[in-house]
C-alpha cells in the first residue's frame, strides 16, 4: 500500500497540470478574488460619485433656497424645460431626458404649519445610486432651516429645546456583536463557497489520473497482477487523492491568512482585518480538522467515479455535474434561519459550511464541532468502504 | 506446467453491449442478460514449450488470458500453473506469472528505470536483489541508453522493451502474452520475438495469443485455436498442420475453423 502511495505521489508531483490545480489555484484565488472585488467596488463607487444627474423641479418657487442648493450641488444639473406634472417627468425619465424629478406640492412655512409632500421621481434600479441620498441631504438642510424659523415663531429659541420638541426620546443602540462577529457572519457566508469546492477540486484531478487514467493508459491490468491486493492498491490511491485534497485545503487556508496579512500592510487597518486577526491558531486548526473528513469523503467519491470510468474523458464528464452538486449543500447553509444546531450538525457538507462560519465569528461550540467531525468521519469511512468494495468488482474494472 | 480445463466466463450485458448486437446475427454465446465469452476452453503447455493461442476477433482469447493471469475470476473450470491452483490461490499464482499485452502501458511520468523498479518493489523485491535483477534485465534488453528518460518520451520500441522488463522482473515461472506484437514495427516485433526465444531457451513456458501465423511458425511448439469461446483445436504444430490439411498455416487455420463451425 505504501509503495503504491509513494509512487503515486511521485508521479503526481511530476504532473504540471495537476500541480496547477493543487498549488496554484488556492494560492492565487484569494488575491485574485480580493483584488477583483475590491477593484470593482472602488470603480463603481467612483463612477457613482462622479455622476452628474439631470434634475427638474416642479414648484421650485415654493422652495427657492432648496432649488438653489440643488443647482450648486456638484452631482446635479438643473435642466431647463417645461414639464407640467408628474406624468411629464415620468415620461422624460423614460426617454432619458432626465434622471430625477422633484415635485414640490406646497411651500413649507411656519405660518400655515401644514406638512407638505415632495415627490422624488427616479429609476431606482441603477447599480449604485447616491441620488436619493443627495436629495435627502439637501432636504434635511432646508428642512432644519424651516424648523428653526417655525420654532422661533413659537418663541422657542434654545437649540436643546428644539431638539426635545422634535424628538423627546432618543434611542441609543449598544451592539453586543463585536466587529468580529458581524464580519464573521459576512465572510462566513463567502468562505465555504470557496473552501469546499476547492477541497473537491484538489481531489478531482489526481483522482481522474489515478483511476480512469490508469485504465486508459493500460497500466491498471498489470497493477492488478502484482501480489498487492486490490484493497491495498485502492487504499494507496485513496491516500494519494486525500493528500492532494488536503494539500489544497491547507494551502487555501494558509494563502487566505497570508493575503489578509499582506492586505493589512497595504490598506489602512480596516475593521475587517482587525476583526479577523482575532482568529486564533486553534480555530484555524479546527477549520482544517473539519475539512479533513470532508476531503476524505470527496476523495472516496471521486475515486469511485474515476475507477468506474473507462477514459479521462468519461471521468471528466462525470465530474462536471459533481462540482455543481457540491454547491447545493453550501447554498443550504446560507439559507435564512439555517443555524448550527445539534440537528443541522448531521447534514453532511452543510454542517462544515455552517461550522466554518461559527469559527470565523468566534462563536463555535466544541460539542457541536465534535458531532460534525464524528459524523463526517463515519460517513467518510462508509464511503471509503464502498470505494474499496467497488474496486474489487470485475464489472467496474473491466467494462 | 500450465494446465487449463473446462474454463468458462460470462459477462453481464449492459445496454451499451446490447446495442452492438444486431438481431440478424444470432450468436450462440448470447443468453438473455449474459454473454458467454468463454464457454469451454482447455489447453496445456509444458516446461520449455511455447503455445500459440489463435482465434478470430472476439473469440475469447483476451478473456481466457485474463483469467490465466488472475485479473478475472473464472466462473467454472480449473487453471494450474506449476502445481498451484490459480482459481483458489490467485495471490500465489501472481508471483509465478509474467503478463504483457499489446495494450499494456507504462507510467508516463516515471522513467523507464522507475517503471521497472516499481513493479519489482510491488513484487516484494528490494535492496541488492532488486538492483541486481534490474541491471541484468537492462543489459539483456540493451536499455541503458534510455533508462532515465520518462516513459512518455520513449519511442514505441523503447517502451516495449521497458514493458518486457517490467513483466519479467520478478522471474516468473511462466509468461503470458496477449497479442504482444500488434501494432509494432518490424524492429520492435523482432525484439519481442527474440525475447520469447530467450524464454524458451531458459525453459520458461510461454502462452501467447496472436493473429500472425508466421510468428507461430517461428516460435510455437503447440497451438490452441479458440472459436466463439470454445477450444476447437489443441495440439502440436505438426498435428495442427495435419488436421488443417495444409502445410501452409493460414490455410490450415481456416480449414480448422471451417470444420468446427460446420459441426
Ligand atoms: N468486460 C466485458 N463485458 C462484456 N463483454 C465482454 C467483456 N470482455 C469481453 N467481452 C466480450 O467477450 C467476447 C470475447 O472478447 P475477447 O476480448 O476475449 O476476444 P479476443 O479473442 O481477445 O478478440 P481480439 O482478437 O479482437 O482481441 C467479445 O465479444 C467481447 O465483446
Ligand atoms: Mg484480444
Spatial separation of the C-alpha atoms in residues A1 and A134, rounded to whole Å: 70
Spatial separation of the C-alpha atoms in residues A269 and A279, rounded to whole Å: 16
How far apart are the CA of B14 and the centre of ligand 2, in A? 20
* Amino acid B225: pLDDT: 95
Mean pLDDT is lowest, of A108-117, A241-250, B139-148, for A108-117
pLDDT at B78 > cutoff 90: yes
The torsion angles phi and psi of A395, rounded to 5 degrees, stand at -70, -15
User: What is the average per-residue pLDDT within A12-17?
Assistant: 85
Spatial separation of the C-alpha atoms in residues B248 and B240, rounded to whole Å: 10
CB atoms within 10 A of CB A1: 16
Closest-CA distance of chain A to residue B14, Å: 9
Contact B110 A10 (CB under 8 A): yes
Q: Give first-to-last CA distance, chain A, whole Å.
A: 25
Number of helices followed by number of strands (H, E) in chain A = 18, 4
pLDDT at A127 > cutoff 60: no
pLDDT at A308 > cutoff 90: yes
More confident residue, A181 or B199: B199
Residue of chain A minimizing CA distance to B91? A227
Enter the C-alpha cell of residue B101: 499485452
Nearest by CB to A227, from B12, B94, B106: name it.
B94
CB atoms within 10 A of CB A176: 5
Contact A217 B108 (CB under 8 A): yes
Kindly state if the Cβ of B113 falls inside 6 Å of ligand 1.
no
Contact A3 B118 (CB under 8 A): yes
Specify the residue for cell string 464489472: A395
Mean pLDDT is lowest, of A162-176, A246-260, B15-29, for B15-29
CB B181 within 8 A of CB B192: yes
* Amino acid A128: pLDDT: 60
User: What is the average per-residue pLDDT within A179-206?
Assistant: 82
Spatial separation of the C-alpha atoms in residues A314 and A308, rounded to whole Å: 9
Enter the C-alpha cell of residue A92: 422624460
* Amino acid B19: pLDDT: 61
Confidence of residue B240 (pLDDT cuts 50, 70, 90): very high
Mean pLDDT is lowest, of A114-118, A122-126, A193-197, for A122-126
The CATH T-level fold of domain A51-166 is D-Maltodextrin-Binding Protein; domain 2 (3.40.190)
Candidates B59, B73, B228, B257: which one to mutate for ligand 1, based on the most atoms within 8 Å of Cβ? B59
* Amino acid B20: pLDDT: 60
Packing angle, helices A281-308 and A230-266, rounded to 10: 140
CB A241 within 8 A of CB A384: no
How far apart are the CA of B37 and the centre of ligand 1, in A? 6
pLDDT digits (tens, 9 = 90+) for A136-161: 999 999 999 999 999 998 888 888 88
Kindly state if the Cβ of B54 falls inside 6 Å of ligand 1.
no
* Amino acid B198: pLDDT: 93
* Amino acid A124: pLDDT: 81
Report the share of chain B in percent with pLDDT over 70. 95
Relative to the CA of B37, which ligand 1 atom is closest? 12
Candidates B11, B74, B75: which one to mutate for ligand 1, based on the most atoms within 8 Å of Cβ? B11
Spatial separation of the C-alpha atoms in residues B171 and B120, rounded to whole Å: 10
CB B179 within 8 A of CB B209: yes
CB B144 within 8 A of CB B176: no
Contacts of B124 in chain A (CB under 8 A): 227
Report the share of chain A in percent with pLDDT over 90. 36
CB B54 within 8 A of CB B226: yes
Relative to the CA of B229, which ligand 1 atom is closest? 14
Contact B12 A229 (CB under 8 A): no
Q: Which residues pair with A154 in a beta bridge?
A: none
pLDDT at A277 > cutoff 70: no
Spatial separation of the C-alpha atoms in residues A245 and A250, rounded to whole Å: 9
Candidates B17, B29, B60, B224: which one to mutate for ligand 1, based on the most atoms within 8 Å of Cβ? B60
Across chain B, mean pLDDT equals 90
Q: What is the DSSP string of A52-113?
A: -EEEEEETGGGSHHHHHHHHT-TTEEEPP----SHHHHHHHHHTTS-SEEEEE-S---TTT-
Residue A268 DSSP one-character state: -
Closest-CA distance of chain B to residue A241, Å: 17
Kindly state if the Cβ of B233 falls inside 6 Å of ligand 1.
no
Closest-CA distance of chain A to residue B104, Å: 5
Give CA torsion, residues B52, B58, B59, B60, to 10 deg: 80
Which of A58, A102, A108 lies closest to A83 in space, CA to CA? A58
* Amino acid B166: pLDDT: 94
3-state secondary structure of A343: coil
Nearest by CB to B71, from A10, A11, A221: name it.
A221
Contacts of A218 in chain B (CB under 8 A): 101, 103-105
Residues contacting residue B66 through CB under 8 Å, at least 6 positions apart: A221, A398, B72, B178
pLDDT digits (tens, 9 = 90+) for B161-181: 999 999 999 999 999 999 999
* Amino acid A13: pLDDT: 87
* Amino acid A72: pLDDT: 92
Across chain A, mean pLDDT equals 86
pLDDT digits (tens, 9 = 90+) for A309-359: 999 999 999 998 998 899 899 888 888 788 888 888 899 999 999 998 888
Report the share of chain A in percent with pLDDT over 70. 93
Contact B122 A218 (CB under 8 A): no
Cα B69-B73-B74 angle, rounded to 5 deg: 100
Q: Whose CA is nearest to atom 29 of ligand 1?
A: B58
Taking the domains of chain A in order of start, what are their residue ranges? 2-30+179-397, 51-166
CB B98 within 8 A of CB B175: yes
pLDDT digits (tens, 9 = 90+) for A29-43: 777 877 777 777 778
pLDDT digits (tens, 9 = 90+) for B81-126: 988 899 998 888 888 999 998 888 899 999 999 999 999 999 999 8
- Provide the sign of the torsion angle of the four alpha carbons B107, B110, B114, B118, taken in this order: negative
Contacts of A228 in chain B (CB under 8 A): 122
Q: Name residues 360-399 of chain A within 8 A of B (Cβ).
A: 394-395, 397-399
**Domain B2-102+174-262 homologous superfamily, CATH:** P-loop containing nucleotide triphosphate hydrolases (3.40.50.300)
pLDDT at A269 > cutoff 60: no
* Amino acid A339: pLDDT: 85
Relative to the CA of B64, which ligand 1 atom is closest? 18
Residue of chain B minimizing CA distance to A210? B107
* Amino acid B52: pLDDT: 95
Q: Which residues of B touch A (CB under 8 A)?
A: 11-12, 14, 66, 69-73, 91, 94-95, 97, 99-101, 103-110, 114, 118-119, 121-124, 150, 166-167
Closest-CA distance of chain A to residue B262, Å: 32
Contact B103 A218 (CB under 8 A): yes
User: What is the average per-residue pLDDT within B202-213?
Assistant: 94
pLDDT at A274 > cutoff 80: no
Amino acid at each position: 500500500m505504501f509503495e503504491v502511495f509513494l509512487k503515486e505521489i511521485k508521479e503526481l508531483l511530476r504532473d504540471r497540470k495537476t500541480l496547477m490545480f493543487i498549488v496554484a489555484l488556492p494560492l492565487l484565488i484569494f488575491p485574485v478574488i480580493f483584488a477583483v472585488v475590491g477593484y470593482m467596488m472602488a470603480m463603481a463607487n467612483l463612477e457613482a460619485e462622479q455622476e452628474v444627474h439631470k434634475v427638474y423641479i416642479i414648484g421650485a418657487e415654493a422652495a427657492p433656497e432648496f432649488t438653489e442648493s440643488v443647482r450648486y450641488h456638484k452631482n446635479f444639473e438643473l435642466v431647463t424645460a417645461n414639464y407640467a406634472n408628474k406624468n411629464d417627468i415620468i415620461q422624460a425619465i423614460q426617454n432619458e431626458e432626465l434622471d430625477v424629478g422633484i415635485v414640490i406640492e406646497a411651500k413649507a412655512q411656519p405660518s400655515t404649519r401644514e406638512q407638505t409632500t415632495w415627490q422624488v421621481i427616479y429609476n431606482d434600479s441603477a447599480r449604485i445610486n447616491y441620488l436619493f441620498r443627495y436629495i435627502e441631504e439637501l432636504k434635511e438642510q432646508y428642512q432644519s432651516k424651516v424648523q428653526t424659523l417655525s420654532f422661533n415663531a413659537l418663541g422657542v429659541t434654545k437649540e436643546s429645546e428644539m431638539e426635545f420638541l422634535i424628538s423627546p426620546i432618543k434611542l441609543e443602540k449598544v451592539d453586543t456583536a463585536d466587529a468580529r462577529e458581524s464580519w464573521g457572519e459576512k465572510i462566513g457566508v463567502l468562505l465555504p463557497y470557496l473552501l469546499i469546492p476547492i477541497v473537491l477540486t484538489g481531489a478531482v484531478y489526481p483522482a481522474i489520473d489515478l483511476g480512469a487514467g490508469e485504465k486508459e493508459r493500460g497500466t491498471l491490468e498489470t497493477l492488478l497482477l502484482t501480489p498487492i491486493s486490490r484493497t491495498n492498491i485502492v487504499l494507496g490511491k485513496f491516500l494519494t487523492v486525500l493528500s492532494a485534497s488536503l494539500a489544497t485545503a491547507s494551502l487555501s487556508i494558509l494563502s487566505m491568512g497570508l493575503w489578509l496579512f499582506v492586505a493589512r500592510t497595504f490598506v489602512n487597518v480596516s475593521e475587517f482585518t482587525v476583526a479577523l486577526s482575532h482568529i486564533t491558531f486553534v480555530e484555524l486548526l479546527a477549520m482544517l480538522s473539519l475539512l479533513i473528513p470532508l476531503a476524505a469523503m470527496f476523495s472516496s467519491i471521486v475515486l469511485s467515479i474515476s475507477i468506474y470510468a473507462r477514459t479521462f474523458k468519461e471521468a471528466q464528464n462525470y465530474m462536471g455535474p459533481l462540482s455543481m452538486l457540491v454547491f447545493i449543500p453550501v447554498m443550504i447553509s446560507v439559507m435564512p434561519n439555517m443555524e448550527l444546531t445539534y440537528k443541522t450538525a448531521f447534514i453532511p457538507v452543510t454542517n462544515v459550511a455552517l461550522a466554518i462560519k461559527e469559527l470565523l465569528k468566534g462563536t463555535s461550540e466544541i460539542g457541536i464541532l465534535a458531532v460534525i467531525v464524528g459524523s463526517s468521519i463515519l460517513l467518510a469511512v462508509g464511503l471509503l468502504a464502498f470505494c474499496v468494495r467497488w474496486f474489487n468488482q470485475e464489472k467496474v474494472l473491466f467494462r | 506446467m500450465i494446465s487449463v480445463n473446462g474454463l468458462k466466463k460470462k459477462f453481464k450485458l449492459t445496454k451499451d453491449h446490447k446495442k452492438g448486437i444486431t438481431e440478424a446475427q444470432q450468436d450462440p454465446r448470447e443468453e438473455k442478460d449474459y454473454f458467454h465469452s468463454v464457454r469451454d476452453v482447455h489447453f496445456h503447455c509444458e516446461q520449455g514449450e511455447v503455445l500459440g493461442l489463435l482465434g478470430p476477433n472476439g473469440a475469447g482469447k483476451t478473456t481466457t488470458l485474463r483469467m490465466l493471469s488472475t485479473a478475472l475470476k473464472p466462473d467454472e473450470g480449473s487453471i494450474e500453473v506449476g502445481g498451484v491452483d490459480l482459481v483458489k490461490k490467485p495471490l500465489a499464482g501472481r508471483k509465478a506469472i509474467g503478463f504483457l499485452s499489446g495494450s499494456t502501458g507504462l507510467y508516463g511520468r516515471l522513467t523507464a528505470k522507475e517503471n521497472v523498479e516499481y513493479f519489482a518493489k510491488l513484487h516484494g523485491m528490494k535492496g541488492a536483489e532488486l538492483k541486481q535483477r534490474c541491471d541484468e534485465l537492462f543489459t539483456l534488453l540493451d536499455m541503458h541508453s534510455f533508462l532515465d528518460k520518462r516513459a512518455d518520451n520513449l519511442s514505441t520500441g523503447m517502451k516495449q522493451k521497458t514493458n518486457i522488463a517490467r513483466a519479467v522482473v520478478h522471474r516468473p515461472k511462466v509468461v503470458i502474452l496477449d497479442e504482444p506484437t500488434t501494432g509494432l514495427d518490424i524492429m520492435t516485433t523482432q525484439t519481442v520475438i527474440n525475447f520469447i526465444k530467450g524464454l524458451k531457451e531458459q525453459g520458461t513456458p510461454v502462452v501467447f495469443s496472436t493473429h500472425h501465423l508466421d510468428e507461430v511458425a517461428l516460435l510455437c511448439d503447440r497451438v490452441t485455436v479458440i472459436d466463439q469461446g470454445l477450444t476447437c483445436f489443441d495440439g502440436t504444430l505438426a498435428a495442427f498442420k495435419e488436421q488443417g490439411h495444409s502445410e501452409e498455416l493460414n490455410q490450415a487455420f481456416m480449414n480448422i475453423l471451417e470444420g468446427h463451425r460446420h459441426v
